Amino acid sequence: MRIALPLAATAALLTIHPLEARAQDASAALPDTIVTGTRIATPEGRVPAAITIITRRDIEERGYQSVQEALTAVPGFNLVPTGGPGSQTSGFMRGNSSRSVLVLIDGVPANDPAEPNGAFNFGQDLLFDVERIEVFRGPASSLYGSAAIGGVINLVTRRADPNRAFAPYGEFAAGAPATARGGIGATGTVGAFDYLLSGNGLTTRGFNALAPRFNANIPERDGFGGGAAAARLGWTPAENTRLEALFRWRQNSFGLDNVPRDDPNYTGRDQRWYGQLRGETRLLDGLWTTGLRVAATQDNRRYVNLPDWLSTAATNDTYKGTRAVLDWGNTLRLPDLGPFSAGAMNFGITRIGEQAESTSGSAFFRTTVNASQHTTAGWASVQTRAFDRLDLTAGLRHDAVTGIEGATTWRLGAVLALPEINSRLRAAAGTGFAAPSLFQRFGVIPGFFIGNPALKPERSFAWEVGAETDIAAFGRANFATAGWTFFQSRVRDLINFAPAFDTLVNVDRANIHGAE
């Protein structure tokens, strides 16, 4: 947080919007619902979990320019950066490890398979083409599989304006220290076709991220320069059928330090491309919605450190992680039955292939990974409303990962509406799991370390209770919302080094409890 806030504050000193039409207008038709908590569009107050939604309006009014900055105020979520903008930034949800937070882009996993722990780096992504961020706290493996022990963060990208053929939007901001950011895009709908195109960038001279107390502080600034582009093309050939293609690309370059000393020749480059093709149709007068999605991501990272007058050390580390996803999902709207209404069932099959290729470290202590694994999962969930005030949900999923134990996870939840006092009570319990990363299973440091292919998944059980109350003021029924949550979880089979540090084993466990 100490690192992210100065950049946000200075870059927002001068902000203009030369194009009147903006993407938030394009998405004004989006209902006030979320999909991350149940895989079914559901009003936020009826999801049995602690949820935080960061809207496009929040992003623009508060001057957020990166995912890292937008998430700093989320309850129960802590960010730990290792340096200035672009450096590795880990996220910890409810006291769990960084590898226990699953990040999605429009519902597709985005954690880097080549990252040693399989974690997500929150220090890289800008927000120009992000419409909203949905944060789900608590185990969600019954919906999304591996890594969703602590929670799920879904980055929902902007969508086309259904009411205009051409709606341009853009922004420009500048400030100190030598910081500028800008973006431009256009969106619209022409007949049965819709589109969204955008590009944006950020450059900053940065600041010295090394603490002044270190004797090796030059000081030396760690700058950042990044660019991103996105394209979304859609076709609606019939009223109940839609085909869509999405492509996103971004690349950042940034300075790094070799803590506890400044290092003016230590630089990094981080590139990701992401694409998906998705088709969806509604059958039986809209009672059954079925969709098929094919998606792929690739993360390429390189860190280079050349010798200089401070150190003769040299680094040339490369990481390449790829993921391919095939997902078939279905939603059935259930008929009302006595006191039960608004029922829906969600089910599907997911196939994920991951591969990691990396080399890092010195010639004497060189770490290499060249491995792949596949996951096949089947899942189902059901939700209903009883007596027009009690929302009930249940979910079940089984994941089979090549070469390791399978994992069956579940989740139960309930929300009781108390409109007489503008409040809601909720409770939930469930399990989660995190499969070992490809480095943990197949990483090699010749003569020192070898991964353990027989590692078991990390597993958890957690429960929570909470309440929310809407507070009326200034003519608004929900001017503010006060809420609390108490949670407790147990995690077993945690992965850690063996006593000789020559491999990894399932040896640790953790008991976690807290309040938000």
The pLDDT value recorded for residue 25 is: 38
What mean pLDDT is predicted for residues 223-227?
A: 94
Model confidence at 34, in pLDDT bands (50, 70, 90)?
low
Contact 348, 397 (CB under 8 A): no
| Statement: residue 26 has pLDDT above 50 | no
The pLDDT value recorded for residue 435 is: 96
**Exposed/middle/buried for residue 386 (C-beta within 10 Å: 0-12, 13-18, 19+):** middle
Per domain, the residue ranges of the chain are: 4-157
Model confidence at 8, in pLDDT bands (50, 70, 90)?
very low
**Most distant CA atoms of the chain, gap in Å:** 79
| Statement: residue 13 has pLDDT above 60 | no
Long-range contacts of 166-170 (CB under 8 A, 24+ apart): 167/21, 167/23, 167/25, 167/26, 168/19, 168/21, 169/17, 169/19, 169/21, 169/22, 169/23, 169/25, 169/26, 170/17, 170/18, 170/19
CA distances to 72, 89, 200, 206, 256 from 180, rounded to whole Å, are 22, 22, 11, 11, 20
| Statement: residue 4 has pLDDT above 60 | no
CATH number of 4-157: 2.170.130.10
In this predicted structure, which of 67-76, 231-240, 308-317 has the lowest mean pLDDT?
308-317
For the stretch 257-274, pLDDT in tens is 877 777 788 899 999 999
- CA dihedral for 38, 98, 426, 483, sign (positive or negative): negative
φ, ψ (nearest 5 deg) of residue 196:
-150, 125
**Residues composing the chain:** 516
For the stretch 189-215, pLDDT in tens is 999 999 999 999 999 998 887 777 777
For the stretch 319-351, pLDDT in tens is 999 999 999 999 999 999 999 999 999 999 999
Q: In this structure, how many other beta carbons lie within 10 angstroms of the beta carbon of residue 237?
A: 11
For the stretch 464-507, pLDDT in tens is 999 999 999 998 888 899 999 999 999 999 999 999 999 999 99
| Statement: residue 91 has pLDDT above 90 | yes
Report the alpha-carbon angle 298-302-306, nearest 5.
175
For the stretch 386-419, pLDDT in tens is 999 999 999 999 999 999 989 999 999 999 999 9
Amino acid at 114: A
What mean pLDDT is predicted for residues 237-250?
A: 95
The CA-based dihedral angle spanning residues 306, 308, 312, 317, taken in that order and rounded to the nearest 10 degrees: -20
Contact 298, 317 (CB under 8 A): no
CA distances to 186, 216, 260, 297, 358 from 212, rounded to whole Å, are 45, 9, 10, 39, 34
